[in-house]
Structure 1
Amino acid sequence: MNKLRSVWDPEQKYSLYSFERQPQTFPDVVLRASAPDVEPQVLMGIELKGWYALAKEGEPSFRYNVTPAVCAPADLLVVVPWALSRVISGSPQVFTPYVINARQAAEYRNWYWEHARGGKGTDRGVILSSVTTHYPNKADPISDQAVKDGGKNFGRFAGSKAMDSYIAELFDDKLAGIPLWAWQKFLLLFTEGQTTETVQAGLDALAARAGTVPEAERTDLADKFREIGDMIAGD
């Protein structure tokens, strides 16, 4: 990110600061002062999550357990979706990231778990971490925990539905000229256990959903599906 300074700091207001990677602690990246006598030492942090957009789950599976109190006001949670430029080969292609204030994300996660998620039972409490220091050490226990979480789902931020509208918009983006939603459903047809009949039925369903797409684009879609399908079959 420091190589992109002309983008995020065009007027050189933060010339005494540079982005620094932090392994195994929160947040992943901080905008830190280059000298010990500069105050504040850290201006902001970014917690980065990668997401392979064509994964079968159809949503990010990362967990975000950090307690709200350790998130500084300017900290961000950033989810970066990516896929290979030729779907199953090529170079990584990045799409528009999802960006949310880190503390807001943590507070919403806890609120959703306690008040808005479905299912039965009343034991929906969240045990907050006792750590309240911004930019904690890696040994600090900064994760919140659910009182009861048999399915190990606490912290799955996408499960809180906060990203639903973003995900829906993202899947309309195109990869190799074809919408991501179509690629994702197409690749699901080739998961283990599928038969020739189920693959064909899935292709028919995709063709039906593509009925609102202009004919020229439908032809391109069919050609691309056939090309990738032949590559998968060859494997």
Structure 2
Amino acid sequence: MSSALEPSPAYLPALIDKTSMDLYNGVLAALMALPASFSFPHPISGVRATDLFNLNSLIGAAIEDQVVEALNRSRSVWDPDHNWDECVFERRSQSFPDVRLVRRALAGEEVVLGIELKGWYTLSKERVPSFRYQVAPNACAPMDVLCVVPWYLDNAVSGEAKVLTPWIVQARYAAEWRDYWWTELRTSKDDEIRKGIDYPTNVKPYPSKSEMAHAVPRNDSGGNFGRLPRCRPLMDAFIQETLAEEVLGIALADWVSFIALHTDGADAEIITRELARKLAERQGATSDLKAERALALLKELVDVLGL
């Protein structure tokens, strides 16, 4: 039986003033509007279908830079009353959080809020975001959020990068849930001492690059601490809804299955039979026509790509 209390999201209105609360809600609205405001006009082409899984490492950072630019372009959403005219979003990839809304003055720089921004290439073989979130809860300020931005290419295997509705959660809550899952919910043979987590001393929000801000598990031989998709059910609904989105009429989950089969080196006939089986399972007996249409499109893609 769990001995620790299950974490719950912080109650922001008790911690910040109304002007700051309006800013916080406006930033969340701007992040949720990313599918409409995002622009990355640099078509991707010439990548082998079997190498698509590597795109997140190749252009993921560029996608995150574009998200920061989109936030600054949408100032009218998060600051309609011009209370924060002197503030701007900046990306600092080596710090936590890696996107900060900063105000500069003669007295120095003030960080107003932070966004830990993670890109998720939705055709990745893992089928889930692959980042590790290891920051200590006390390193998170009340208005800091963790934002995972799913993206894809509009022609599935080529074209312009497009983003889908992001997943946004308070940064401290995500850190607390991760730790609760690790120590209380995770199935493990470790004794209670080895399941523990050590935290840096005197950690505070917006640490510098040189300051230790990560929580450290006492035993993590598999390197799984901080993999939030495993801290169920934290991201379950978001992942399921994202992979159900369609590109060229085919669900993202089916695109992943399709490309994974080719990556595994099966011949075309085996691939076709496996696709038919997976589509039948996914679409159900009442959707035969839709499954047949999707399978026909995938077969055409096999011919086009020469796989």
TM over 0.5: same fold? yes
Give the 3-state SS of the residue equivalent to 2:105 in structure 1: coil
Work out which of the residue numbers 85, 93, 97 in structure 1 matches 2:162.
93
Give 1:116 shift. Answer: 0.7
Output the amino acid matched with 1:231. V
Q: Distance in 1 between matches of 2:106 and 2:196?
A: 41
Confirm or deny: 8 A CA contact 1:70 1:131 kept in the other structure: no
Output the amino acid matched with 1:71. C
Give 1:200 shift. Answer: 3.0
Work out which of the residue numbers 109, 120, 143 in structure 1 matches 2:214.
143
Give the 3-state SS of the residue equivalent to 1:155 in structure 2: coil
Give the 3-state SS of the residue equivalent to 2:187 in structure 1: coil
Q: Distance in 1 between matches of 2:110 and 2:168?
A: 23
Q: Name the CA shift for 1:131/1:185 in 2 (closer, same or farther; >3 Å).
A: farther
Q: Distance in 2 between matches of 1:16 and 1:136?
A: 22
Q: Name the CA shift for 1:215/1:194 in 2 (closer, same or farther; >3 Å).
A: closer
Query: Where do residues 189-200 of structure 1 align in structure 2 (5 Å cutoff)?
Result: 189-196=261-268, 198-200=270-272
Give 1:214 shift. Answer: 4.8
Higher share in helix = 2
Mapped pair 1:20 → 2:90: yes
Give the 3-state SS of the residue equivalent to 1:82 in structure 2: strand
Query: Where do residues 58-207 of structure 1 align in structure 2 (5 Å cutoff)?
Result: 58-122=127-191, 123-161=194-232, 162-196=234-268, 198-207=270-279
Which moved further from structure 2: 126-135 or 198-207? 198-207
Q: Distance in 2 between matches of 1:139 and 1:13?
A: 32
Give the 3-state SS of the residue equivalent to 1:45 in structure 2: strand
Give the 3-state SS of the residue equivalent to 2:188 in structure 1: coil
2:74 matched to which residue of 1?
4
Q: Distance in 2 between matches of 1:36 and 1:81?
A: 38
Q: Distance in 1 between matches of 2:288 and 2:225?
A: 44
Q: Distance in 1 between matches of 2:106 and 2:245?
A: 44
Give 1:55 shift. Answer: 0.9
Confirm or deny: 8 A CA contact 1:64 1:157 kept in the other structure: yes
Which moved further from structure 2: 191-200 or 21-30? 191-200
TM-score normalized with structure 2 length: 0.70
TM-score normalized with structure 1 length: 0.90
Q: Distance in 1 between matches of 2:216 and 2:305?
A: 41
1:223 matched to which residue of 2?
296
Output the amino acid matched with 1:59. V
- Runs of 4+ residues over 6 Å off in structure 1: none
Q: Distance in 2 between matches of 1:4 and 1:45?
A: 16
Mapped pair 1:52 → 2:124: no
Give 1:173 shift. Answer: 1.3
Question: Number of paired residues?
Answer: 233
> Once the two structures are superposed, what CA deviation does each residue of 1:64-91 show, in whole Å capped at 9, x if it has no partner?
1111101000000000111111111111
Output the amino acid matched with 1:233. G
**How large is the RMSD of aligned CA atoms in angstroms?**
2.0
Q: Name the CA shift for 1:20/1:84 in 2 (closer, same or farther; >3 Å).
A: same
Q: Distance in 1 between matches of 2:264 and 2:144?
A: 41
> Once the two structures are superposed, what CA deviation does each residue of 1:22-65 show, in whole Å capped at 9, x if it has no partner?
23111111111132458x92221000011111111111110111
> Once the two structures are superposed, what CA deviation does each residue of 1:207-234 show, in whole Å capped at 9, x if it has no partner?
3132457566445423321232223435
Give 1:198 shift. Answer: 3.8
Q: Distance in 2 between matches of 1:220 and 1:200?
A: 13
Question: Percent identity between the aligned chains?
Answer: 38
> Once the two structures are superposed, what CA deviation does each residue of 1:108-148 show, in whole Å capped at 9, x if it has no partner?
11111111112322221111122422111001111111101
Q: Name the CA shift for 1:217/1:200 in 2 (closer, same or farther; >3 Å).
A: closer
